[in-house]
Amino acid sequence: MRIGLLTEGGHPYVSGDVGLWCDRLVRGLGQHDFDVYALGDGHHRGDAEVAHGRRARRRFTESYGELVTALADVSEGGSNAQADRFANALYGLAELAREEGGLVRALRSESAVRALERACRAPGALRMAREARVPELLAVAAHLERALRPLSFDWYEDDGLAAADLCHAASGGVVALPGLLARHFFDVPLLVTEYGVRLRSHYLGSGAHSGNRRHPGSGAPDADDVEAAPAVRALLAAFHGRLAAEVYRQAACVTSGNAHARRWQERCGADPARLRTVYPGMAADRFAETGDAPDAADPHTLVWVGRVEPAKDLVSLLHAFAEVRREHPRARLRIIGAPGAPAGSEGGAYLGHCRMLAAQLFPDEADGPHAVGDNPVSFEEIGGPEAPGPAEAYAAGAVVVLSSVVEGFPVGLVEAMFCGRATVSTDVGAVVEVVGGTGLVVPPRNPRALAQACGALLRDPERRARLGAAARARALELFTVEQNVEAFRGTYLEIVSRCPARRAVLDGAADPRPFAVPAEARLPGRWTGPGVRGTARGGPGWSAGPPVHGMASVVPSTVVPSSAVPSSVLPSSAVPSSVLPPPLVATEGA
């Protein structure tokens, strides 16, 4: 099978966790051919100026005007009408880009800005859109130009995405746009995977910018002021919402990394029948040695591991530890952060604040007047002498604590589970789904509840051991690389098995060659007919027909590759419903 894998960032894989997942997927499914398309590496099909043709200029103005009107107009007949209007305009721009060799200059032109201004000033437009000033209109137009650049890429040729058996987008939104066009132009099925819902990330990012606005009259607006303007935020939210809804509508299947993300997808318009949960795959072998020796940790030590930032709420953790110390004077807290936080960054400033708070809450303690004091809270980095890697960091404590107020899929929590550690976590994101019944979960921003849970595990070593063993077993069952790869192997076969053959691929002997691992369909009953050995008794009436090439005697419970049965012989209208594959259903696990 030939897979067009759509990512973003540098070639060949994006950086970070998503890039690592892409690499593992490509290596784990070696029987398939992957063509990786990185959004940052897209090449435009020339840089043609659409203004050279009057008809092309008119088509661009009409399609772009319809698209921005769908974003600004609230008087249209309901959300479905707006979604259809947006989709028709988007595909109209895509068709024009194919004919004219790209829309790069047109999307940057004054005509695009004027079309946006007309949409915002029209009767029935959003109140915030009507108040948009020129800098805000320019900011929205620039953002739309960047988001619509995939329309002008040279990926949609006969040897590109058009030749793929399946497009797999490693994210939603703009990353999935090339797959959406391949679906529209060439009927290539689209699979979308979102470990972090792109639309949710956009909402959170725009909300963060809104807190930085200057007061009126404080001077000329800078870039942050313009990006945080209500008109800009409203129009861009409408664009990303419409694009997400269209991607979900056209995708054959949408996978999420957890049920928390799936609820976001449903809220954004995804059909629950096309959703399924595939947990992220993580390498468990790095933590095998620590997991095999869970009793080696200091029984009086709590450990926190992660990236130091305000969303992790280390302030609440420090106040909770102050209560823990009243009951357990020997308790220690090791805060082990990821390396590389610049001193002037938000994380660096927050780390400095936490260090000052720890010094105030826990003055250095000494055994006597001539001894050196020691603080029960230590701040360290992964890569140091005592914690050279994540496994050693989790091994440093008997209980691993997560104190976040915002969390998606808690990767650090899964790593702690691989290490066989008992955990105390706040109820945010997918924490409850990940932990199951193998750890203690408390409300966020509640230091007293966090302290009580930590104290309960410090007092009871047998309970810690039981929870740690159960956590490791759960992580090995649900969150490994092998589980993730196997889930996508089945999803690929399921999607392609339902799609009509768009072309015949021949092998060296000029025989039809199916994709690498054929999709399988179980054919119940006794199947007979001309060209097939066996009796005619008991066979369905439509089985009598021309010979079926490549089919031998088929008996009950025989598995036959569906690719071996030409569609001309077995029309879908004649196939009993029991033969057709079951519909996609939403599942909680892989």
What does the pLDDT look like over 155-184, one tens digit per residue? Answer: 998 889 999 999 999 988 899 999 999 999
- Same structural domain for residues 307 and 429? yes
Is the domain of 146 the same as that of 160?
no
Domain end, chosen from 136, 153, 170, is at 153
Q: How many CB atoms lie within 10 A of CB 580?
A: 11
Residues 297 and 329 placed together within one structural domain of the fold: yes
Q: Is the pLDDT of residue 532 over 50?
A: no
Domain assignment present for 583: no
Statement: residue 556 has pLDDT above 50: no
**pLDDT score for 342:** 54
313 and 454 part of one domain:
yes
The tokens for 116 are 């946006």
Instruction: For residue 433, give the amino acid letter.
Output: E
Find out whether the peptide bond into 12 is cis, omega within 30 degrees of 0: yes
Question: Which of 423, 454, 478 corresponds to the end of one domain?
Answer: 478
Task: Indicate whether 315 pLDDT > 90.
Answer: yes
Its pTM stands at 0.76
Same domain, 338 and 351: yes
How many residues comprise the chain? 590
- Proportion of the chain above pLDDT 90, given as a percent: 51
> Residue 209 — φ and ψ, nearest 5°?
-65, -30
Report if residue 575 sits inside a domain.
Answer: no
**Domain closes at, from 105, 133, 153:** 153
Q: 497 and 383: one domain?
A: no
207 and 245 share a domain? Answer: yes
Residues 299 and 339 in one domain: yes
Out of 188-192, 200-204, 560-564, least confident range? 560-564
Domain presence at residue 227:
no
In angstroms, how far is CA 20 from the centroid of its own chain?
13
Q: How confident is the model at residue 126 (pLDDT cuts 50, 70, 90)?
A: confident
Query: Do 442 and 452 belong together in one domain?
Result: yes
Phi, psi (degrees; rounded to nearest 5) at 542:
-80, -5
**Pairing of β 166-169 and β 2-7:** parallel
The whole domain housing 146 covers 53-153
Pair of tokens at residue 303? 């450990």
- Looking up tokens 């953790």, which residue turns up? 317
One domain, residues 415 and 329 = yes
Question: Based on the domain organization, do 24 and 76 belong to the same domain?
Answer: no
Both tokens of 84, joined, read 């259809």
Q: At 363, phi and psi to the nearest 5?
A: -60, 145
196: domain CATH number is: 3.40.50.2000
Tell whether 395 and 467 lie within a shared domain: yes
Evaluate whether residue 345 is within a structural domain: yes
Contact 487, 543 (CB under 8 A): no
In a domain, 569, yes or no: no
pLDDT value at 272 more than 90: yes
Q: How many domains does the chain have?
A: 3
- What is the DSSP secondary structure assignment for residue 364, as one 8-state letter? P
Q: pLDDT (tens digit, 9 = 90+) per residue, 92-104? A: 999 999 998 889 8
6 inside domain = yes
- Flag whether 532 is in a domain: no
Per 3-state DSSP, what percentage of the chain is helix, strand, and coil (rounded to 5)? 50, 15, 40
